[in-house]
Structure 1
């Protein structure tokens, strides 16, 4: 089923079962910069240049009328009116020329850098990072997924503080209000080449505090937000291929390797599945820049690096694959699956 942009714009939820290539194509189409920015910028520029062109032509026409009137005035009657018409005619003629020049300059295509900067204003940061995270994970997992097998994707680009995401509302003390939000905005399911079922999900959890004080002449309100992102990666297998898997929980915990900013929350191992849950600070980025490509002066000025969500999810998957690799090697000595 093709992408329905009109339906997506109403709900801000993308849900589809399709191949990785089709989902990546849809993600590109969902980017507001590819939808609205070029059209909006070109339309706005066209309106400006058309308006300046009409203004310039109008001023030149008015200047021509003034000159025509001056030519019709007899020489013996030229006085204050003549000087006034001459002044206005010259002024409008100069203004018309400048307006035409401005319309010609404005009609030229803008520089690429300026265009890209203007396009950024159409994109909310969290929307861009969510799309980029899903696209990055699909590209990384594509080689491990079964060829041409569809994946099930649900991507919610609405705000985590949307009233529909509120799970708790309460108040305590004097003028203190507390709201809890839970936003399960990403779900990705697919089958790996060896038959293992992959399920990855991300849930944003946020808490808003609002404190109100009644002062003599005004009401003062202060708000504070705390939030985390919960990433879950689970692999489901056939028990006969991985005997003794349920007894490897300690090994699974020891095998976990996580990048900066990620905190292990839970490890679950059963006879038919392994699962990891990890917490990330809510200011994560989909893909952190390569430190070798950051200039030294900018690195000194930059704050602590933000958590890399795509790297976290990738390392979670590799950690789980190591546990499955150990379990399968016990069943079939010498048969060790690569986790690279």
Structure 2
């Protein structure tokens, strides 16, 4: 395993060039690290509320007032420690997405070629990711651009894969007096994610790619929640850029089997599903391969595959 946890925790950046199996082992280690941080945060939360409850009970006993004050101070300290600990939590959607994609593509990737991965798991609103601060009317605005993923690999057919992801976030803050005369602070945030999948090929294997650009858009199929931003077709590469809402998941949880649901339970109405990012990337890749397959079959009479 190439991951050095002590070094990673200084920057929250994971970067390696290694076989897929080794990268998956590193991502599993990150998942374990994150689970421990979440468990610690949960225990701090429980301990803080226990102290608050104990404070109320101690205040009812006159000669235990000092002990009650100490319990209250301890509870406040635990809340502060928990809030700071939450800043070091990893965004599991990110490492989970990379793991899901590598597991899915592992069979088709060149077994003899390593993959290059750079994964930045620091918060999207980290100071180093701020790209601008300005005034928007009465709002103080901060803009963040977070290029958190870059992945390069080679498929068994010789095609080179490049996958990247960028998160964009805007935070707004406004302080003013309300109708009651009290000073109030309002905050807003909005974000989006940009995914890019590119395939680099040898032009002689895929003749006439550039001539397909007008029709290639019809080959693009995306899941709900993903919107086409740009399609580029050149003689040696095809690229797709897709926008996702900020609130996406690496892959949705599996629905329980009917046999696992108690017979007396009534089915609950389904909540609106979040965008499945791993499915979006997979469909982007399949769309690009459909364009390549059509190009490679053009010179073979009777074997021409059609675009939609």
1:67-117 CA deviation, whole Å, 9 max, x = no partner? xxxxxxxxxxxxxxxxxxxxxxxxxxxxxxxxxxxxxxxxxxxxxxxxxxx
Is 1:237–2:201 an aligned residue pair? yes
* Conserved 8 A contact 1:243-1:271: yes
Q: What CA distance in whole angstroms lies between the structure 2 residues aligned with 1:281 and 1:38?
A: 25
Q: What CA distance in whole angstroms lies between the structure 1 residues aligned with 2:266 and 2:10?
A: 44
Is 1:263–2:263 an aligned residue pair? no
RMSD: 3.0
Comparing 179-188 with 207-216, which one deviates more in the overlay? Answer: 207-216
The residue that corresponds to 1:200 in the other structure is 163
1:216-252 CA deviation, whole Å, 9 max, x = no partner? 8543111111111111000011111111101111222
* Structural mapping, 1:207-246, within 5 Å: 207-214=170-177, 218-246=182-210
What is the TM-score with the length of structure 1 in the denominator? 0.69
Comparing 158-167 with 215-224, which one deviates more in the overlay? Answer: 215-224
* CA gap 1:11/1:333 in 2 versus in 1, 3 angstroms: farther
* Structural mapping, 1:77-92, within 5 Å: none
* Conserved 8 A contact 2:221-2:287: yes
SS of the residue corresponding to residue 227 of structure 1 reads: strand
Comparing 290-299 with 251-260, which one deviates more in the overlay? Answer: 290-299
**1:6 Cα offset (Å):** 0.9
The residue that corresponds to 1:50 in the other structure is none
Choose which of 164, 167, 186 in structure 1 pairs with 2:131. Answer: 167
Is the helix fraction higher in 1 or 2? 1
SS of the residue corresponding to residue 260 of structure 1 reads: coil
Q: What CA distance in whole angstroms lies between the structure 1 residues aligned with 2:87 and 2:250?
A: 15
Q: What CA distance in whole angstroms lies between the structure 1 residues aligned with 2:191 and 2:37?
A: 31
The number of equivalent residue pairs is 258
Q: What CA distance in whole angstroms lies between the structure 2 residues aligned with 1:223 and 1:39?
A: 29
* Conserved 8 A contact 2:199-2:238: yes
**1:303 Cα offset (Å):** 2.1
1:12-45 CA deviation, whole Å, 9 max, x = no partner? 000000000000000111224478479979xx9x
SS of the residue corresponding to residue 191 of structure 2 reads: strand
What is the TM-score with the length of structure 2 in the denominator? 0.76
SS of the residue corresponding to residue 22 of structure 1 reads: helix
Q: What CA distance in whole angstroms lies between the structure 1 residues aligned with 2:256 and 2:31?
A: 29
Q: Which runs of 5+ in 1 are unaligned?
A: 45-120
The residue that corresponds to 2:92 in the other structure is 128
* Structure exhibiting the larger radius of gyration computed from Cα positions: 1
Is the strand fraction higher in 1 or 2? 2
* CA gap 1:166/1:38 in 2 versus in 1, 3 angstroms: closer
